[in-house]
Structure 1
Amino acid sequence: MNMYFEGYGYRGSTFEQTYRCYPASFIDKPQLESGDKIIMPPSALDRLASLHIEYPMLFEVRNTAAERTSHCGVLEFIAEEGMIYMPYWMMQNLLLQEGDMVFIKNANLPKGTYVKLQPHTTDFLDISNPKAILEKTLRNYSCLTTGDSIMVAYNNKKYYIDIVETKPASAISIIETDCEVDFAPPLDYKEPERPKPTAPPSADPAAEAQVEEEPKFSPFTGPGRRLDGKPAKDLDASSSSPAKRQANATNSVQPSAASTPQITAPRKTTGKLVFGSGGSQSSKGTEKVPDKDAKEDPKKEEPKFSAFTGKKYSLKG
């Protein structure tokens, strides 16, 4: 037989009641601030016991005027009738003032599998072991609701952390469950500024042009050699110029009129090497051969090259 009490608003098989809320500082229960549990009057326990509510007891807490909703557990049933006491951080989440009316309803929440947290300040990450501190704090919590900000007390300092996301629902139970925890960057986190690239010092334009200039090809820049193998002591020093050597090579190499090429000793000229067809003739524009060259013994003249003058062989053997 279900009982209905007009004064307390018990209806059917659910627990629904409106109370005036006050912070935990009104009673000697400082431990309330380190969790999400409230203190309710004894009449609430009687009604919950008659409904065979599943343990742990979880409740939906709603501020109808501000349209804010959260969830919590219960610590004790020792409050005055018509009143409840709750952590001050929870009153802040619900935008409640002392003595405001709050709606309480029993709730069944799924076990959480994932929660994403976001600290308000970066100094929470400076704690030597924030994971251990968080695990210890969440042991005092029964459930988590997306959009709430929970409080973590450590070394006489309060750290606030937002519940960004929860799975598999927007409100989950964290009692006796394995829950994956992820962290978002703190609200006051700022990415370090990247150093601006420094402009290279402006170089001298003339130096840049000199560096960028590619080496030009200069033909005939090696040392001079005589074709007859003798030292090239008669070469004019002016013939070392690349331009002159190129001109010499162009003007001095001439095809022989005979079928067999003839190579004569070079004669001292004004900056040119002449490869003529005749051994005793001098080209136009050249000086006469000095007396020293004229007195040279003609017997010492190098043998002339004749093509196809060797022995004959037959491929038949």
Structure 2
Amino acid sequence: MKLTQSSRPLPVASPAAARVPQAAGGPNRVAPARKSRFDVLPYLLIAPVLIFIACLALVPAVFTVVQSFFRVNALDPPTRFDGFGNFVRLAHDKAVIGSIGNTAFYVVVGVALSTIIGIGAAVVLQKPFRGRSLVIAVLILPWALPGVVEGILWSGIFDPNGGLISSVLSSLHLSDGSTVLLGQNRLLTITLIELVQVWQIAPLSVLLILATLQLIPGELYEAAEIDGCGPWASFLRITLPLARPGIAVTMVQAVIATLNVFDQPYVLNGAASTGSSVTMQTYFISFQDLDFGEGYALSLLITIVTLVISLVVVRAVYRRVEL
């Protein structure tokens, strides 16, 4: 039998390749990637903040939830389990029921007015103009002041003896100069108190919505103007839809502020029921009546209502915007 030799030359291994050992499993097998080490440093850096938040917020929250189901009264010791007894007593407390009506008015009026003012002022401040930075700086002042300070300032304005409003009404011959504005009529009292709070929270609403409007490209307004859209049509079809994330955040912060209003009613109207809020009732029940169990229960209800209303507002108003 005759042997034939192939014309293809045999491969010759280079000296460098001969020195490299083949990986186990064949020449085509890829060596497994080296496992990265777990870096614990980032977790160590944020650990103090997490511990601080847990001690400041989570622990008191859990304690409040647990204690709301116990009878905790310094005048009626010892502490004992009471189930839903605290909530039942709150439902029959006339002062609490009245404060719920006042707080509902604060929330509706406060959220509506602060949002409308925020949208209007943000649209005005959207385009740069001379003195814009100064206007924004002055606008922040009411929000930066503590609520107690604002209550004291406005108590002088509402003062029936020489206050600004009383003097104006007297000069216009609409009163005798001693008109009592707070504490007499319930609707007038809570309206004036809420106007003071809106004066405080509206600047933050303006800044939040203004920050959202700054993200809207100017080309959209130019294209709308070319297509024949006027200012009002551009506002309805461009500004409002694209500002909905900022408006949602604005409304949520207004809900939280108005549901937990305390400083303005307490400073302007004291403990009178004509303007008391639910948060004020929490203070009175806990630190005047020393019934901490009912105070815990009312605080828990305020927290739940705040979360529910905030979620409803976010679901109804918020829309994701992609430019």
Whichever structure has more strand as a proportion of its residues is: 1
TM-score relative to the length of structure 2: 0.20
Larger radius of gyration: 1
Q: Report 1 or 2 for greater relative contact order, CA contacts < 8 Å, sequence distance ≥ 6.
A: 2
